[in-house]
Amino acid sequence: MWRLVIIFLFAITLTASITIAQESEKVEQKSESIICANCKQENLINNNFCTRCGMKLLQKEKVAEKPEVKFSFGHQIGRLFSIPYAAVLNSLDLSLLVGGSFGFSNTDGFLGTLSLGLGGFGDVEVSTVSLLGSVFSRSENFASLGLKIAVLKENETLPGLSVGLKTNNQWNTSSNYDIQTAAPDLGIFGLTSTEYDARMTSFYAALSKKMNPVTNIHLGVMVSDLRYRNVRSYFISPTYSYREPSEQKKNMVLAFGGIDFNLNERTSLMFEAQTIPYFRVDPKKGSIEPSRRIAGVGGLRFIISKWLVLDSGVRYQDNYKGLADAEIKIALNGFLNLGLR
């Protein structure tokens, strides 16, 4: 019985292959035809005389093959996975980005960014993004406002340059009341919980240069003004608490960069790395101090349609202990031009 099924399937496959080959040959022959100069009859490429009027066919009258229509994406994205680069959104392009990071031991949930292109010279955005690293989870998600302005358009000799400002204009509270589980290394001296309020404003400059038809390089630097206050830490053994209500300030210089390779008109291979600020906790005293971590992402960007893009990659930080701590980043980016161009 199974032999008959296999033979039947093989026959169907063979028949389909022959049919497809024949159709391809017909299409090829049709695309490579000759038009008779006398009666305008279309003839096969191998014919020397017209099948209608009998006139000799000239090879120079060969019909030009129709050029292959390649897919074209008519929007600027302005970022890799999370780091900005020099390009800004097209004029009146409305961009909606929804995505998140998902790991074995932690998930950041879904984050979103809504952006609008300003005349091709800049864009403005409202977003919920991961601005700070945390001792409690992988990141702290803050609502922020951003403005990006194109200073220099890329040309054959000079890279493109854009500058931008991102700020969250309200205090955000971070807390964890089970440090023994969330960060066991901090609980060895009896620390049980820490909480604080923080906000951050950052100015950045981003450079981008097309090195060849396939490769693009992006580099940037960011200066961040980090503020924090109302630091409260509690110890269980011995019973002790640390409090610092006054506002503290820390200026930090951060760097970011990335590279992308155009695999075809729809797919790109992307890598990015950046330094991110986070708060380091003193497990003996309970105080906090701003520091830096390195985070990197590598993966693919696939353009699903002329208005929808899918990003997927693997994210890793220098404080992770192994592959089990890695996260999968997934984001969908939709575009709509309000000018109906």
Q: Which helix (H) or strand (E) element contains residue 17?
A: helix 2-31
Mean pLDDT, rounded, for 104-108 = 55
CA angle 17, 23, 29 (to 5 degrees): 135
For position 147, what pLDDT does the model report?
97
Q: Which pLDDT score, from 0 to 100, does residue 193 have?
A: 83
Model confidence at 202: pLDDT above 90? yes
Confidence class of residue 12 from pLDDT cuts 50, 70 and 90? very low
What is the model's pLDDT at position 183?
Answer: 67
| Residue ranges of domains in the chain, CATH in brackets | 2-61 (no CATH), 93-337 (2.40.160.40)
Name the nearest CA neighbour of 258 among 86, 102, 134: 86
pLDDT at site 1: 44
Instruction: State the Cα torsion 80-81-82-84 to the nearest 10°.
Output: 0
Structure tokens at 341: 């161009």
pLDDT in tens, 129-169: 665 555 444 455 678 899 999 999 999 899 999 999 999 87
pLDDT at 324: 85
Angle CA(117)–CA(160)–CA(148) in degrees, nearest 5? 35
What integer pLDDT is reported at residue 21 of this predicted model?
Answer: 43
Mean per-residue pLDDT, 161-181: 82
pLDDT at 20: 40
pLDDT score for 172: 84
Q: Tell me the two tokens of residue 287.
A: 């105080």
At residue 293, the pLDDT reads 92
pLDDT digits (tens, 9 = 90+) for 26-50: 444 444 577 777 777 777 767 777 7
Pairwise CA distance, residues 127 & 147, whole Å = 11
Six token digits for residue 162 = 């854009």
Name the least confident of 9-18, 70-79, 124-133, 152-161. 9-18
pLDDT class of 239 with cuts at 50, 70, 90: confident
Assess whether pLDDT exceeds 60 at residue 61.
Answer: no
Q: What average pLDDT does the segment 300-325 reach?
A: 92
Q: Is the pLDDT of residue 313 over 70?
A: yes
Per-residue pLDDT, 54: 76
Q: Which residue has the higher pLDDT, 239 or 306?
A: 306
Measured CA to CA in angstroms, residue 115 lies from 48, 96, 196, 239 at distances of 61, 7, 30, 49
Q: If pLDDT is split at 50, 70 and 90, which confidence band does 188 have?
A: confident
Q: Rounded mean pLDDT of the chain? A: 81
Residue 309 banded pLDDT, cuts 50, 70, 90: very high
What is the model's pLDDT at position 46?
72
Percent of the chain with pLDDT over 90: 47
Inter-residue contact 148 to 188 (CB < 8 Å): no
Find out whether 129 and 114 touch, Cβ atoms under 8 Å: no
Question: Which of 337, 330, 256, 341 has its CA nearest to residue 97?
Answer: 330
pLDDT score for 260: 97
pLDDT band at 94 (very low <50, low <70, confident <90, very high): very high
Judged against a pLDDT cut of 60, whether residue 285 lies above it is answered with: yes
Name the residue with higher pLDDT: 17 or 43: 43
- Percent residues over pLDDT 70 in the chain: 76
